[in-house]
Amino acid sequence: MTSITQEQERARPPSGFFTRLAERFNGKRDILIPYFSFQTVMKGNMESYVLKEIFKLRYEVYCVERHFLEASVCPEGLETDEYDDCAIHFAAYTLDNDIIGTVRLVQPHPGQEYPFESHCTPFPEFAAPDRETAAEVSRLVVRKTFRRRRGDSMEGISKDFVEKGSTKSIQPRSTVRRDKRGNSPLLLLGMYREMYRYSRQNGIRYWYAAMERSLARSLGKMGFKFVPIGPQVDYYGPVTPHMADLDELIERLNKENKFLAAWFNDEPIPFWIMVKTMAGNFLEKRSRKK
């Protein structure tokens, strides 16, 4: 019988490591967010069951939890507005089919303002891109139960990532637990990937967003560099209008994290990149335990 030294035992990968790696590489589960799925609701599909779940989740966050809106103005517990019929909606679900997050891309009707324009004024020198190439990111929420700890943002970004995270730190995890609340900021990243893929397929290059500067900084750590285009205003708290260029996003990711760039573009991920990133994560975890 062959004996195993303590050093050899410690050097072993975690149980099931190569099984999990093979499953993700073969496409059985998403390599980065294996415990979430996503649904897209196209413009004008106002009778969609998914859209009703989105409106209900927005009501829970905006009316019941945050009190941004009066519950009395949201009949039947559904939060809606005049932009929903000209928006593409994205919803995140658990594997048990429970909705846990949502965001939308608004492309206003001809003659209609973007949502941010109703309360923000761009700098005089700001040159807006053609409206056909731009959309606004808005109504971004994550269910409260999927924010791991006190201090996590409404969008589900953990304090740890805000303080220590970076584009380079976003890697496939070899030991992702089924406790999905521990995956921040991957839920948010997954929703942004869905918006990114839709935008690339439909000629959208620029995103507007009116948000707190702390959220803009966190998104910058994920690769989405939102640049202020106007002064800060008070709109349910301090928000600043921003814009992101998706061409710059993918150029930055190709330099900083080739795995993430391929993942965003739904491109084949070379096996050596997956092994390198997952092994690096495993070794980093072991070094922290010593």
Total domains present in the chain: 1
Distance separating alpha carbons of residues 153 and 276, to the nearest angstrom = 31
Checking 106-115 for CB contacts under 8 A at 24+ apart, the result is 106/135, 106/136, 106/138, 107/43, 107/131, 107/134, 107/135, 107/204, 108/83, 112/86, 114/208, 115/83, 115/210
Whether 2 is in a domain gets the answer no
Asked whether the beta carbons of 289 and 181 are under 8 A apart, the reply is: no
Whether 180 is covered by a domain: the verdict is yes
Q: Is residue 22 part of a domain?
A: no
On whether residue 262 sits in a domain, the answer given is yes
pLDDT in tens, 122-163: 999 999 999 999 999 999 999 887 765 444 454 445 555 555
The alpha carbon dihedral of 40, 30, 59, 118 has a sign of negative
Does residue 62 lie in a domain region? yes
Work out whether strand 206-211 and strand 134-142 pair parallel, antiparallel, or are unpaired: parallel
> What is the pLDDT at residue 284?
53
Place of tokens 């996590």: 152
Give residue 262's pLDDT: 87
Which CATH number does the domain housing residue 86 bear?
Answer: 3.40.630.30
Specify the amino acid at residue 115.
P
Sites in the chain below the pLDDT cut of 50: 1-26, 149-152, 154-156, 174-183
18 lies in some domain: no
Exposed/middle/buried for 175, CB within 10 Å: 0-12, 13-18, 19+?
middle
- Per-residue pLDDT, 12: 38
- Report the distance separating Cα 107 and Cα 204, nearest Å: 10
The reply to whether 16 falls in a domain is no
- Total count of residues recorded for the chain: 290
Token pair in block for residue 262: 């391929």
Q: Is 238 contained in some domain?
A: yes
Q: What is the pLDDT of residue 155?
A: 47
pLDDT at 283: 55
Predicted confidence at residue 139, as pLDDT, reads 94
**Helix (H, G, I), strand (E, B), or coil: what is residue 219?**
helix
Q: What residue numbers bound the domain in which 169 lies?
A: 29-289
